Amino acid sequence: MEIAALVVSLVALGLSGALSWRQLRLSEQANTLPVVVDLFREHRSVRLARARTFVHEELPACDLSLGLAGLPAEGQDLVRELAWYYDNLGALVTHGVVEIEPVSGYLGGSVISVWERMEPLVAVERARRAQNALPDPNRWQEYFENLYHLVREIPAEQARAGTRLWRLPSR
């Protein structure tokens, strides 16, 4: 009889722990969901779509050795906005506010292609900030750079296929 009571108590404790863990995960997701939805919505905005088009189509023709100063005024604004967007997103991922998997699964290709086109410009801007004695010049776009590396480690295809609800085959 005592063994049966002990077994029932252990099962109840295990179930209680499992349910508590599940509730904690649901609570975390409920808090993160609005942030992720807003981030994805902003990425689809006309302004950031224009910025991505600029980076892919017009940035290669600019003199990146001058950093942002080598871009036309509108291009500077577009590049800054896009870079800050990815830098902010990178900070949220790095600090565990947003998980990397949905970011990589949905935005991974953009993160990679934009960083690879902007990296020379970022390097020049960091060097210019160092020459101007600005504090911590290498920190400029560091979260964006880290996000790029995280997405390379967990590519979009892997992030999507890793979820239990993904049904499409890898391409």
Q: Work out the percent of the chain whose per-residue pLDDT is above 70.
A: 92
pLDDT reading at 120 higher than 70: yes
What is this structure's pTM? 0.82
Spatial separation of the C-alpha atoms in residues 98 and 167, rounded to whole Å: 23
Q: What is the pLDDT of residue 143?
A: 97
Q: Sorting pLDDT into bands at 50, 70 and 90, what band is 27?
A: low
For 131-151, write each residue's pLDDT tens digit: 887 778 789 999 999 999 999
Spatial separation of the C-alpha atoms in residues 162 and 165, rounded to whole Å: 9
Average pLDDT, stretch 32-44? 89
Could you tell me the end-to-end alpha-carbon distance of the chain, in angstroms, rounded to an integer?
58
Q: Sorting pLDDT into bands at 50, 70 and 90, what band is 165?
A: confident
Q: What is the pLDDT of residue 26?
A: 59
